[in-house]
Structure 1
Amino acid sequence: MLSSKKAVGRGSATRKYDLLTILGTYALSQGKTLQRQTLRLICLITARYNWQNDHLSVGQTEIARLWSVNPRTVKREMAAFRDRGWLVEKRPAARGRVTLYGLGIARILDDTREVWEKVGPDLVERLTPEPQSAEPSKVIPFPQVSLPPEDTLWGRVAQLLSLEDAALYRSWFAALEPLEGGAGELVLKAPSAFHATYVTTHLMPRIESALRSVAPGSRCRIC
């Protein structure tokens, strides 16, 4: 699985290609401005990103030459990448030293999730967090995601889903928002059509199981 960690070690080559592939696929699904901007990031990653250390340290003059633009354009584009969370500033520029960046891999994955299925189910499977093992984990857990209020139907269902698999909840369930539905119906709005399709196709049994536990006879619908 490609995670927010550095793409090194066993399977690192696949993780690198997965990241570049989803960036390219995402770019091709967007308008010309975002296409060009994302292509510039891909070019910068391919040419100068250090996967081992999660370091991107390149001067604006060199970037301008690489992109065939002027330094003003470089400054604007790098600021846009920072604002979007695709680049994370690790060390500011100083006299004789350029800014050191890292890749915001978690944010890139989140922003490009809607195009994963266009690449293929194998990539979706690689990028989707695996269910947690029953054996004790040595991996440091991610920060907890805030849950909906427990006095709501979705809040009680979300609590069970999070306890069952926190990583899966963060990746797919946390982004769902409850809408007003009919009696005995839980209606959830997904952030994108791809997200809605994936949850409906692959994860609906988990939601329905939790829903039966807190409100027997209720049904769920994703939109």
Structure 2
Amino acid sequence: MQVIKPVGREAAAKKYDILSAMMAHALAGDQNAQRLVLRLMALITTRYNWQRNELVMGQREIARLWCVDERTVKRDMARLKGLGWITVKKQGARGRVSVLGIDLERIMLDTRPAWPNIGEDYVARVGGVEEVADRTVVPFRRPDPLPAEGLWGRARAMLSGEDGALYDAWFSGLVDGGVEAGCLTLLAPSRFHATYIRTHLMARLQVAVRRCDPVVSAVRIEAPS
């Protein structure tokens, strides 16, 4: 999948593509999903800074925009963070609200099943080959080990389904090191492999693991000594 970055001369069109994906995803879901996505779209279209990837808005302001109470805001923002659609860039302190970010790549991954509802031209435009974070780096392709059991097995299946090429290049070589104190340890085949995943792919990896088991809140990548 091509990562859409709403910058440059075609920024406006790319923003519409992202919002269209969210709309199609919502319409294909139930009423709860539709409401949640609509509320996020309201934040994006009114207060989101696309260039800086920043959303700075207090719960009281959000409640007023959504026409709900602050308890509903806390609940739905927690759901959006759990999905990985919203991230905390800077935690609020001393009366200042948190600076939030929106993971557009995660949103496009999750909405992809609904893209055909928009049209073949849309799928062709946004569904190309994904660009790995650093194109100057040539990833080492590792043979896939035996299918893992348990949590990592489920997370591997999710990552493979999202992007087979990226999975083959980077995630397939990770070996399950077990779960302890809410943290999944994964063993990388080399230091370079571990460093690249920590730098470029940790967010995607953590989302997959949390969706498979919400109790596991952290992922650690270990490299050979």
Give the match for residue 44 of structure 2.
45
* One-letter amino acid of the counterpart of residue 3, structure 1: V
Unaligned runs of 5+ in 2: 148-162, 172-225
Looking at structure 1, the residues matched to 104 and 138 of structure 2 have their Cα atoms a distance apart, in angstroms, of 14
CA contact (8 A) 1:130 1:168 kept: no
Looking at structure 2, the residues matched to 107 and 64 of structure 1 have their Cα atoms a distance apart, in angstroms, of 25
Q: C-alpha offsets along residues 112-156 of structure 1, whole Å, 9 cap, x if unaligned? A: 110111111222122223488xxxx974659889762289xxxxx
Give the match for residue 149 of structure 1.
145
Looking at structure 2, the residues matched to 99 and 138 of structure 1 have their Cα atoms a distance apart, in angstroms, of 29
Describe the shift of the 1:131–1:32 C-alpha distance in structure 2 as closer, same or farther (beyond 3 A): closer
Give the match for residue 128 of structure 2.
129
Looking at structure 1, the residues matched to 10 and 75 of structure 2 have their Cα atoms a distance apart, in angstroms, of 34
TM-score (norm 2): 0.60
Paired residues for 1:98-177 under 5 Å: 98-130=97-129, 139=135, 148-149=144-145, 169-170=165-166
How many pairs are equivalent? Answer: 155
Give the match for residue 3 of structure 2.
3
Unaligned runs of 5+ in 1: 152-166, 176-223
Cα offset, 1:172, TM superposition: 10
CA contact (8 A) 1:88 1:104 kept: yes
Q: Which has the higher contact order (CA 8 A, sep 6+)?
A: 2
Describe the shift of the 1:173–1:64 C-alpha distance in structure 2 as closer, same or farther (beyond 3 A): same
SS in 2 for 1:149: coil
RMSD: 3.4
CA contact (8 A) 1:61 1:71 kept: yes
SS in 1 for 2:55: coil
Larger radius of gyration: 1
TM-score (norm 1): 0.60
Describe the shift of the 1:72–1:82 C-alpha distance in structure 2 as closer, same or farther (beyond 3 A): same
CA contact (8 A) 1:54 1:103 kept: yes
CA contact (8 A) 1:4 1:104 kept: no
CA contact (8 A) 2:91 2:97 kept: yes
Give the match for residue 61 of structure 1.
60
